Amino acid sequence: MSESGVSVRALRKSFRSFRRRQEVLQGIDLDVAPGEVVGLIGPNGAGKTTLMSCLLGFLHPDSGDITIDGRANDDLGVRRRTGFVPERMNFDRGATGWNFLRYMARLAGVPGGEVDARCRAMLERLGLTPAADKRLSQYSRGMLQRIGMCQALIHEPAFVFLDEPTSGLDPNGVLLVRDLITEQKQRGAAVLLNSHQLAEVEKVCDRVVFLHRGVIQHAETLRHTDRIIVAVTLLPGSFDVATVERITGVAAQENVVIVTVETQEAIAALVRDLVAGNVGIVDVRRHTADLESIFRGAA
């Protein structure tokens, strides 16, 4: 699997049209470690697609460094371990799903003897087996997104770049993509997810980077590896503020108390102590940053 993930340093990119020069990326620093899912969010025109294009070698940066696993991003060894899902799947629409996927698998370097088995498995996993012999022109937008995921993951890449992978998908498709992203993370892949779906980003990403006008304006860790932040909502009128503060170590804000613990077991122990202290509990959930507030505040 990947050794050093994706690294971007002082990346700048500008576009020229006639005499105007527009600097779209203004010194981006970004890291995506192996086994980490990083979300890229930001308003339209923030530079997310340009950043993704530079990372994948579609665009040439003005300055700065991009390394993937310590090598240049156009290194063939790196490409062999890279998967990419574009926002819109554009390909020869006359090809059948099966032929398209076989072609992509062979190009990605899947060994000849494994191509058919892997194609079948991916189509089955993404629920496209019944549509395998249909032409891509007959696929819906959601089906194209699914086959896009198939071609990106068929060679079990170590570096996965996803551009709006859930756009056009039904709720089942969204859940499927969420599971696939989690699987990539568990495999140890470094995943960069560009999405406008803040709820999705919140659910799957370990870290989120907010890009605005070509600069990273905010970076937030959603899931810490060494601690868990829990929000416990208390039943109004059922608790004594001092008791809650004694048990949890922090003061409740209105009816919510946000506690940092180290393990899952500590959450159970905390709940037990609160219940033993006659504190009514309405809800217990992992606490993550409010991406909507970040988005609104920074945009």
Q: What is the Cα–Cα distance from 220 to 198, expressed in whole angstroms?
A: 13
Least distance (Å) between residue 96 CB and other proteins: 11
Q: Which is nearer to other proteins, 84 or 98 (CB)?
A: 84
Least distance (Å) between residue 88 CB and other proteins: 6
Q: Which is nearer to other proteins, 78 or 259 (CB)?
A: 78
Least distance (Å) between residue 83 CB and other proteins: 8
Residues binding other proteins (CB under 8 A) = 49, 52-53, 56-60, 76-77, 79-80, 82-84, 86-92, 94-95, 103-104, 106-109, 151, 161, 163
Q: Which is nearer to other proteins, 81 or 212 (CB)?
A: 81
Least distance (Å) between residue 275 CB and other proteins: 53
User: Which distant-in-sequence residues (6+ apart) come within 8 Å of 125 by Cβ?
Assistant: 150, 180
Least distance (Å) between residue 55 CB and other proteins: 10
Least distance (Å) between residue 76 CB and other proteins: 5
Least distance (Å) between residue 236 CB and other proteins: 50
Tokens representing 291 are 């991406």
Q: Which is nearer to other proteins, 106 or 120 (CB)?
A: 106
SS (H, E, C) the chain: CCCCCEEEEEEEEEEEECCEEEEEEEEEEEEECCCCEEEEECCCCCCHHHHHHHHHCCCCCCEEEEEECCEECCCHHHHCCEEEECCCCCCCCCCEHHHHHHHHHHHCCCCHHHHHHHHHHHHHHCCCHHHCCCEHHHCCHHHHHHHHHHHHHCCCCCEEEEECCCCCCCHHHHHHHHHHHHHHHHHCCEEEEECCCHHHHHHHCCEEEEEECCEEEEEEECCCCCCEEEEEEECCCCCCHHHHHHHHCCCCECCEEEEEECCHHHHHHHHHHHHHCCCCEEEEEECCCCHHHHHHHHC
Q: Which is nearer to other proteins, 82 or 248 (CB)?
A: 82
Q: Which is nearer to other proteins, 23 or 220 (CB)?
A: 23
Say what angle helices 97-107 and 115-125 make with each other, to 10 degrees: 120
Q: Which is nearer to other proteins, 149 or 270 (CB)?
A: 149
Q: Which is nearer to other proteins, 206 or 214 (CB)?
A: 214
Q: What is the Cα–Cα distance from 206 to 135, expressed in whole angstroms?
A: 37
Least distance (Å) between residue 264 CB and other proteins: 38
Q: What is the Cα–Cα distance from 221 to 209, expressed in whole angstroms?
A: 9
